[in-house]
Amino acid sequence: MVDRTVGTGKRGRPGYPAAAAVFAIGMVGTTLPTPLYGLYQEQIGFSELMVTVVFAMYAIAVITTLLVAGNYSDAVGRRPVLLAAMGFSAASACCFLLETGLPFLFAGRLLSGLSAGLLSGAATAAVIELAPPAKKARAAFAATAAKMSGLGCGPLLSGMLAQYAPRPLTLVFWVDLGLIAVACVLTWLLPETVENPNRWPRLSPQGISVPTGIKGVFVPASVAAFAGFALFGLFTAVAPSFVAMTLDVHNLAVSGAVAFSVFLASTIGQSMTPKAGAVRALPVGCAVLVVGLLLVGSSLLAESLPLLVLGALVGGTGQGLAFRGALTLINDAAPPHKRAGTISAFFVLAYAGLALPVVGVGALTMVLGLRTAGLVFAGCVTAIAAGAGAYAAFHPPTQECSRTSRRGA
């Protein structure tokens, strides 16, 4: 029998900080290409629309993986799924190293999405399960911080290496492979936390399931998540082109730092959620997100890099507040026997926000130009975030959450 391990587990085995490090390394690879899309455009020759389509492949793969295998680690164990995720991440890096055209970029982003989809459930569960009871809340935040810091460090790392080191399109992926090797060693040393894992279970697609009684909580929460992830999509797919083409700033380290700032701010926002309380964090976070989006729109009009960075910091903070508040409310409201499906549905809609609006920006860029397309994007997402925040402010979900939780219990 395999023990359900908590804390550091067996003597000499690493605990939840090591699992968080694995999570962060895995997420680094998903955003490494962000500052490099302009170089790929010059080398291969494709439009801004194609940049967003390549980027969207990642979100599509994440959504598919969440729906098909989001709960696979519950059956097979955390370690095998984490190792599989690292394998997909390594294969993605190899695609970028072998890149000779768009097919390799598509394959690289697809494999990266598969890795992120597996990591989202398995790594989060592993981090929390490996923590001792007194540190469960800290471990939950460690999992969130690991994901966001990994996402943010990806463009920061690739931007700096591409700008200041040789071989801008290959060196960063060799570094990534080295980090993945470290993550694989850590994963191998982690205690398994699933009792009696089945080594050859069948895949059981989860689909999307939202209990009728919690839709008053689910709708504003998921709409807020959609808007927040749309902000992430803008800064990881389109902002580098805006920095180079409109602001005439061609330093790739700067582009990477701009993308890093929005994820850093999200981590800070999520750390503030417990003090605000989930019910208050959702509308307040949406309001802060709206301010951030208005600043992003102003940066497009004024062609100002400082305003763009300020918009990233403010918008990211709002996204973090709203996102963690939304996830907490949904987790509390969903009946226990339908909680996994409900949370999966929430993440599917969040990742749809990462892909759909960004592809729309790419399409509009072909007709209206990058700046006007960005303004349309900022206006639409502002309206979505404002609507979700206003609904949550005037219809606090506290009573509904408690009623549904009691029914589920």
What pLDDT sits at residue 207? 65
pLDDT-based confidence at residue 104 (cuts at 50, 70, 90): very high
What pLDDT sits at residue 45? 87
What pLDDT sits at residue 135? 86
pLDDT digits (tens, 9 = 90+) for 158-193: 999 999 999 999 999 999 999 999 999 999 999 988
pLDDT digits (tens, 9 = 90+) for 371-407: 899 999 999 999 999 999 999 899 876 544 444 444 4
- Is it the case that residue 316 has pLDDT exceeding 70? yes
End-to-end CA distance of the chain: 30
Which of residues 237 and 88 earns the better pLDDT score? 88
pLDDT average, residue stretch 154-158 = 96
Judge contact between 377 and 360, C-beta under 8 A: yes
pLDDT average, residue stretch 7-15 = 58
pLDDT digits (tens, 9 = 90+) for 43-92: 888 888 898 899 889 989 998 888 888 777 888 888 999 999 999 999 99
What pLDDT sits at residue 408? 41
What pLDDT sits at residue 379? 94
Residue spans per domain, the chain: 1-194, 208-409
Select 208-409's CATH number: 1.20.1250.20, 1.10.8.640, 1.10.10.10, 3.30.160.40. Answer: 1.20.1250.20
Percent of the chain with pLDDT over 70: 91
pLDDT average, residue stretch 243-252 = 88
Measured between alpha carbons, how far is 250 from 235 in angstroms, rounded to an integer?
Answer: 16
pLDDT-based confidence at residue 237 (cuts at 50, 70, 90): confident
pLDDT average, residue stretch 128-136 = 86
What pLDDT sits at residue 335? 78
pTM of the complete model beyond 0.85: yes
Residue 63 CB partners (closer than 8 Å, separation 6+) = 117, 348, 351, 352
| CATH class, 1-194 region | mainly alpha
How would you write the chain as a 3-class SS string?
Answer: CCCCCCCCCCCCCCCHHHHHHHHHHHHHHHHCCHHHHHHHHHHHCCCHHHHHHHHHHHHHHHHHHHHHHCCHHHHHCHHHHHHHHHHHHHHHHHHHHCCCCHHHHHHHHHHHHHHHHHHHHHHHHHHHHCCCHHHHHHHHHHHHHHHHHHHHHHHHHHHHHHHHCCCCCCHHHHHHHHHHHHHHHHHHHCCCCCCCCCCCCCCCCCCCCCCHHHHHHHHHHHHHHHHHHHHHHHHHHHHHHHHHHCCCCCCHHHHHHHHHHHHHHHHHHHHHHHHHCHHHHHHHHHHHHHHHHHHHHHHHHHCCHHHHHHHHHHHHHHHHHHHHHHHHHHHHHCCHHHHHHHHHHHHHHHHHHHHHHHHHHHHHHHHHCHHHHHHHHHHHHHHHHHHHHHHHHHCCCHHHHHHHHHHHC
Average pLDDT, the chain: 87
What pLDDT sits at residue 340? 60
What pLDDT sits at residue 269? 94
pLDDT-based confidence at residue 342 (cuts at 50, 70, 90): confident
What pLDDT sits at residue 94? 97
pLDDT average, residue stretch 210-219 = 84
Among 16-30, 129-143, 298-312, the least confident range: 129-143
